[in-house]
Amino acid sequence: MKIFKLNLKDEPEIGSVVRFKDHAGGKKVAGEIAGMIGTGDSVKYELIVYDMRLKPIIRGDGSFKRKTVPSSKCKLIDATFKFDTRDDYQVGDVVCKHVGVNKKFGIIVGFTHPDGLFTTSYESGYNGIDFIDCVEISKRGLRRKKDMFGKIKRFTTTKKQTKMCEIDLWNRSGPKIKIK
């Protein structure tokens, strides 16, 4: 988990972001306070748990993953820190397109509006509607793939078919893509 500047002088309130140690995995996790239970020294926080990209974890039924944690185990993260909960696809990001069991890896090179209209994804970030245009790359080595005529392979995908990826530059066998 990323290291955040802690705020030790203010009291947490509903909407504040806190860091706590998860008992299941023993790792540090972040969450947003959605409710407070109890009074005095026995206060517990009901938290909406965030993933490693600091976005709310959403269950299969569409609800947020929640956890109740004693207030003594939580540390307030600096108030100037804000979570960005929208998909932040940007030109240059590495993504994985998955359709059934087939996977393609690519680098985002642009966005196209489905109706051919002007897209706002370049100025204000990915809007969730546009098609994502990518250049296909190999999973190991990150080389661009070419077709039998020597042209670079491209593909277009949607938000539903796409997952963000990380690049492991320090892998023994060379750069490798990891799906988040």
Domain boundary among 76, 111, 143: 76
Residue whose C-alpha is closest to residue 17's, from 66, 41, 50: 50
pTM of the predicted protein model: 0.53
Provide the number of structural domains found in the chain.
2
Do 72 and 101 lie in a common domain?
A: no
Per-residue pLDDT tens digits for 47-84: 999 876 677 888 878 788 999 999 888 888 875 655 55
Predicted confidence band of residue 1 (pLDDT cuts 50, 70, 90): very low
* Residues 83-92 pLDDT 10s: 554 457 888 8
Same domain, 109 and 165: yes
Q: Specify whether 101 is located in the same domain as 149.
A: yes
Contact 86, 53 (CB under 8 A): no
Residue 174 lies in a domain: yes
In one-letter notation, the amino acid at residue 88 is D
As a whole number of angstroms, the distance between CA 150 and CA 139 comes to 19
User: Does the structure show a pLDDT above 80 at 126?
Assistant: yes
What domain range is 54 assigned to? 17-76
What torsion, rounded to 10 degrees, do the Cα atoms 102, 107, 110, 112 define?
A: 10
